[in-house]
Chains A and B, each alone.
Chain A
Amino acid sequence: MTAANATGRLSLKRGSARSPEQAGSNQARPAALAVGGIAVFAALLAIAPLASLAVIAFGQTGDIWLHLIRYVVPTALVQTMLLLAGVAAVTIVIGVGAAWAVTTFEFPGRNALSWMLALPLALPTYIVAYIYVDLLGSYGPVQSTLRAMFGFKTAAEYWFPNVRSLGGAILLMGLVLYPYVYLAARAMFQTQAAQLTEAARMLGARPFRLALQISLPLARPAIAVGVALALLETLNDIGASEYLGVQTLTISIFTTWLNRGSLAGAAQIACIMLIFVAALIALERYGRRGRAFTALSQQGARFPSRIALKGPTRFIATLLCLVPVVLGFLLPAGFLISEVIARGLLVGFEPELIRPALTTVALAAAATALVLVIGFAAIAATRYLRRSLIDACVNVAGIGYAIPGTVLALGLLTPLVLVDEGINAAIRALGGGSVGLILAGSVAALIIAYVIRFLAIALGFAQAGFARIAPEFDDVARMLGAGPATLARTIHLPLVRPAIFGAALLVFVDCLKELPATLLLRPLNVETLSTYIYQYATRGSFEEGSLEALIIILVGIPAVLLISRHADAQIVPNS
């Protein structure tokens, strides 16, 4: 019997709480209407760039599809699927394995590793790609040392795995993206009902069996959300894939647009990619269907005690958890630090760097706040209103995460300019002069793009967070006469707080790292840290941007620390 079944049995009959009359009576409540409105707004926001893409996709493409189907799409599909499968495998193995280890066992360094395992999140994928090509490339320290040791004269005389390959891309992206899975899995493992695990242990279940039959099935929705985020991020990557020579669908969108001269064809490939995304999301939903994954009760939500490892095993656990931290964070960060020192970048520290740094943080913070409000309100709306329209809106609202940044930016331009032209027309009608591009020509465009792009993260976390709150809580509160506003204030918000902080961290850090949409949409004279790094990277000497890269990482680290602390401190519901 799996734990999920057990949970299902222990739960009250949930149908009783879902009577249509009750759902109907909620409609009148302003709080419910407000969140419902936000859910609809979120969907409209996400649809706007897609709609303008669709308009582009209806354009003339001539005979390009004959060519694409014959020579481009098959390779792109195969490489994309292999890349996704590979990254899924790597992120699950590292993310779930590490989360299970730090929540189940006690071993030296566990506390530190528990938060350090999230650190690779702070690194932009393409920077990590550059660094590893540098380190492991033919001219890098590793191969140079090998040549010196074995007396090889050239790099052609021996075999060495090439980082610039599909395999290399899978490993590198897996190393940077596994924290999505790790954080989600760890939060779930920590909040799983202690009674279940302890009962199983008392009945003699070994840790592995416990993990397979209790912890993993219970954590599956969270793991699915984490994997989905990692894969969507993989899908929209362009910098690392191009540099590593992987021919993904995203790359083919760009080559079709820029080289084959068909923006319409590119938009059509983008639509194919969205089918991928929809399939990914549907698969995750299907796996989750018909099961109750809620925390059982207040008492059940305390920490399960950890098993102290003895003998040499404990150091093996330490080592295993250390590997992803070293490869995914310490080594790349160390490389950047050594470059900053070797190049004396701090000596010539430009005070002008302060402005892009502040801009980056301000934009990220503003977008994060908006994303949180919109994302959590939209999910709350699905719970309060229980309307299929709202569910559909929420499903649509997350789609922006899978659109490559440049494509999203392109799609967003038209709606923004339309709104601007509307504003200008209105002002002219009132006797005023032209005010120019208020949205498209200001940072508003960037914030809107970030919100669309990263809403999926907040939605995913909110969904997982709300799913853990037993519907019985709502039922009881409603029986006692509480409306949605009271319900939200007294029960839901306190209980989803860890999820809010988790989402805040990820969105904030992702905004810091975002490059392609920022490049295309930013107004005149606005630079962020990632556009600064990009300046160097495009000239083929990204090391000169090491300082900017380090600042991105340094700003991201406190966010990582915050989530680690809050995830630990706020497990026990305190309502």
Chain B
Amino acid sequence: MKSVCGRVLPCLVPCLALAAASVTTPALAQGEVNVYTYRETKLIQPLFDTFTKDTGIKVNVVSAASGLEQRIRTEGANSPADVLLTVDISRLEAAVRAGITQPIKSEVLDKVVAPRFRDPEGHWYAVSMRARVVYASKDRVKQTALNYEDLGDAAWKSKICIRSGQHYYNIALFAAYIVKHGEAQTEQWLRGLKANLAQKPSGGDRETARDVAAGKCDLGIGNTYYYGLMMHRNPAQKPWAEATKVILPTFKGGGTHVNVSGVVLTRHAPNKANAMKLIEWLAGEQAQQMYANMNYEYPIRAGVAINPTIAAFGKLNPDPMPLSAIADKSKAAANLVDKVGFND
């Protein structure tokens, strides 16, 4: 027993101690706010750092890809979470449905956030906006304007690249199409779009831009801010952005499909006052400028300038449909993706 246990056991104890010591238990004391986020810490940490500098309130963070609503719900009344930051309107609505939110009552926010960018009862507020648009090859695509409806047109056969149809960026776009045209027409359009794909849906939006740059396809579907990130934040990806132009497509007789990132206040938020300060701060001028210039998103606050790279796409004309209508149709959109075998 000595030889093996003699080695394993003595290292077990310090390891456990070290593991325990390597973390600080999140204190629920004043001066802190606990954030669960689907937005990457790399992206939002600068925001939190600035917030802490401004207010002295420390921000504790957990970021994940999925399941945070379930985590908050399961943790129940003991949950340390004050705030959930997320992208995608369907996720915001899902958080509300899961019963993990409470109304954010803030006159400050209501003044600067337009009614269409918040829940009527205040369960969520948007803090930034993005559009789902077309990356078109500069060399091979002459068009400077497109309708979403055109993407299902046989003229583009084998010319389009897109990430997984089940990714929530695409689900939201397809749901918006359902809101505009109904399920039957959307199914037809999706079949057309599927036939127009140059390859199986895979990768992410940046890979889509890369494939357009390499000539694998002429059109790619992607989010606006990736263009700014490729152009300015990653020298290796700059050529991908340079080879493409961004077209802001519109629905026929409508505008461009937009989605939001937003924030909810949790039901059992232990640091509610600080959480409110953070939420209001995120809609403030400084934070909105950071969203615009560091992540190339459209600010939600009126009067904050759009980053020049993004503004150069042309004037964004968001479709007037209510965001919650998109969330309502997202399940139907996911089912259609299955039905037409979009990812096969």
A residues touching B (Cβ–Cβ < 8 Å)?
Answer: 67, 71-72, 75, 133, 137-139, 143-144, 153-157, 162, 164-165, 242-245, 247, 251, 254-255, 257-261, 263, 342, 355, 358-359, 362-363, 365-366, 369-370, 372-373, 406, 409-410, 413-414, 417, 420-421, 424, 434, 436-437, 440-443, 447, 485, 488-489, 493-494, 497, 500, 516, 519-520, 522-527, 531, 534-536, 538-541, 543-544
Contact = CB atoms under 8 A, between A and B. Distances in A.
B52 interface: no
Contacts of A436: 25, 28, 78, 80
B64 A523 contact: no
Interface stretch (B211-219, B246-254, B278-286): B211-219
B15 interface: yes
Interface in B58-75: 60-68, 70-71, 74-75
Given A441-B25, A535-B42, A410 B207 contact: no
A523 B202 contact: no
Given A245-B202, A369-B8, A539-B43, A413 B216 contact: no
Contacts of B214: 137-139, 143-144, 154-155
A326 B12 CA distance: 35
**Interface majority SS on B: helix, strand, loop or mixed?**
helix
B143 interface: no
Nearest to B213: A139
Interface of B: 1-5, 8-9, 11-12, 15-16, 18-20, 22-26, 28, 34, 40-43, 60-68, 70-71, 74-76, 78-80, 94, 140, 158, 164, 166, 168, 171, 198-207, 210-211, 213-217, 226, 229, 233-234, 236-237, 240, 330-331, 334-335, 337-339, 341, 343-344
Contacts of A261: 94, 330-331, 334
B338 A67 contact: yes
Contacts of A67: 335, 338
B207 A420 contact: no
B80 A437 contact: yes
B22 A358 contact: yes
Contacts of B201: 245
B211 A544 contact: no
Nearest to B74: A413
B75 A139 contact: no
A541 B334 contact: no
B216 A154 contact: yes
**Interface majority SS on A: helix, strand, loop or mixed?**
helix
B75 A441 contact: yes
Contacts of B61: 524-525
Contacts of B28: 436
Contacts of A536: 42
A72 B1 contact: no
Contacts of B60: 524-525
Given A164-B200, A541-B233, 7 more contacts: A139-B210, A255-B334, A363-B22, A493-B1, A524-B34, A525-B62, A538-B40
Contacts of A363: 19, 22
A421 B203 CA distance: 42
A64 to B, nearest CB: 9
Contacts of A526: 22-23, 62
B324 to A, nearest CB: 15
Given A139-B240, A441-B25, A362 B207 contact: no
Contacts of B211: 137-139, 155
Nearest to A447: B19
A414 B200 CA distance: 38
A258 to B, nearest CB: 6
12 contacts: A138-B215, A154-B216, A156-B158, A243-B203, A243-B204, A254-B66, A259-B334, A259-B337, A436-B78, A526-B22, A536-B42, A540-B229
B164 A366 contact: no
B15 A366 contact: yes
A539 B204 CA distance: 9
A536 to B, nearest CB: 7
B74 A414 contact: yes
Nearest to B70: A410
B207 A260 contact: no
A440 B211 CA distance: 43
A519 B65 contact: yes
A133 B66 contact: no
A457 to B, nearest CB: 15
A538 B80 contact: no
Contacts of B3: 493-494, 497
B230 to A, nearest CB: 8
Contact of B23 (A247, A493, A525, A535): A525
B80 A520 contact: no
B67 A520 contact: yes
A423 B215 CA distance: 61
A301 B15 CA distance: 35
B344 A247 contact: yes
Nearest to B335: A67
Contacts of A543: 236
Contacts of A443: 19-20, 22-23
A119 B22 CA distance: 28
A167 B200 CA distance: 13
Contact of A523 (B2, B25, B140): B25
Contacts of A162: 199-200
Contacts of A410: 67, 70
A414 B19 CA distance: 23
Contacts of A442: 20, 23, 25
B334 A524 contact: no
Q: Which of B68, B214, B341, B344 has the most CB of A within 10 A?
A: B214
Q: Which 3 A-B pairs have the closest CB atoms?
A: A154-B215, A245-B202, A138-B214
Given A72-B338, A489-B1, A535-B41, A245 B343 contact: yes
B166 A259 contact: yes
B168 A539 contact: no
Contact of B78 (A242, A257, A420, A535): A420
